[in-house]
């Protein structure tokens, strides 16, 4: 049996919500293959480097973020996914509020920018497939985890919470049913704070009881 050399990379789908849209971070590649095309941030693993360590390193190097929700997604290894040869990627997805991200621009990583998942450009490699897979995972996790906390500020209104779900699920939700369901889940609690607006009544602010990954006792 003939053996062949394989390289391992990691690619990261970084989701955030901005301008009432779910967005993903893309970079314009500076080198071949796919020079000047959009792609996910990622890179090769160092020798003996664990994938979890690599993704933390790359997140900090590319966008200077840490301590965000991070989850291993899937391993993509089809033979034609990279023209440089047989390269396997261990993909991850990260969730973060927009204000926690500091864009880093360098000669090697050009024009990092957030793009709406509804209006993605042509993307290099099989990264479109990876984004689609990550979006499916995110939507499913809303049903059985508290993952929404990672996209919201510490204090938020019920409307902001509902809009987060609607934006990710890409559908409108009944306001009364949403409030009733979410209160039964026991994930959030009211605070003594209010959000004051010039044209509307002050809205009560809530916070998550725990801002750590938690599985629900009941499905949303």
* Interval 139-186: pLDDT, tens: 999 999 999 999 999 999 999 999 999 999 999 999 999 999 888 888
pLDDT at 2: 44
* CATH 3.90.79.10-classified regions of the chain: 7-143
pLDDT at 108: 59
Confidence category of residue 1, pLDDT binned at 50, 70, 90: very low
The owner of tokens 């987060």 is 164
Nearest to 31 by CA among 122, 91, 115, 109: 109
| Mean pLDDT along residues 9-21 | 95
Has residue 3 got a pLDDT over 70? no
pLDDT at 4: 47
Q: Across-strand partners of 190?
A: 206
pLDDT at 104: 67
Domain formed by 147-208, architecture: Orthogonal Bundle (1.10)
pLDDT at 9: 93
Burial of 203 (0-12, 13-18, 19+ CB in 10 A): middle
Has residue 199 got a pLDDT over 80? no
Question: At 19, phi and psi to the nearest 5?
Answer: 55, 40
pLDDT at 11: 96
- The tens digit of pLDDT for each residue in 58-93 reads 888 877 788 899 999 999 988 878 888 889 999 999
The total number of residues shown for the chain amounts to 220
3-state secondary structure of 57: helix
Summary mean pLDDT of the chain: 89
Q: What is the rounded CA–CA span in Å between residue 165 and residue 220?
A: 11
| Mean pLDDT along residues 108-122 | 86
Domain formed by 7-143, architecture: Alpha-Beta Complex (3.90)
Q: What is the rounded CA–CA span in Å between residue 73 and residue 75?
A: 7
Has residue 19 got a pLDDT over 90? yes
* CATH 1.10.10.10-classified regions of the chain: 147-208
């Amino acid at each position: 049996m003939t053996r062949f050399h394989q390289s391992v990379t990691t690619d990261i789908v970084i989701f955030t919500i901005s301008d009432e849209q779910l967005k993903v971070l893309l970079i314009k590649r500076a080198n071949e293959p796919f020079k000047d095309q959009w792609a996910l941030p990622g890179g090769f693993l160092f020798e003996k480097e664990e994938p979890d360590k690599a993704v933390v390193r790359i997140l900090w190097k590319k966008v200077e973020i840490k301590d965000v929700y991070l989850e291993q997604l899937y391993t993509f290894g089809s033979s034609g996914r990279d023209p440089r040869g047989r390269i396997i990627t261990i993909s991850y997805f990260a969730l973060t509020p927009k204000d926690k991200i500091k864009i880093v621009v360098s000669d090697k990583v050009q024009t990092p920018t957030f793009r709406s998942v509804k209006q993605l450009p042509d993307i290099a490699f099989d990264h479109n497939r990876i984004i689609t897979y990550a979006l499916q995972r995110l939507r499913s996790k809303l049903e059985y985890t508290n993952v929404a906390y990672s996209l919201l500020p510490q204090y938020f209104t019920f409307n902001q919470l509902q809009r987060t779900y609607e934006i990710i699920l890409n559908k409108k939700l009944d306001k009364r049913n949403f409030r009733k369901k979410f209160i039964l889940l026991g994930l959030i609690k009211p605070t003594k704070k209010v959000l004051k607006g010039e044209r509307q009544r002050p809205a009560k602010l809530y916070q998550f009881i725990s801002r750590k990954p938690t599985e629900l006792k009941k499905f949303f």
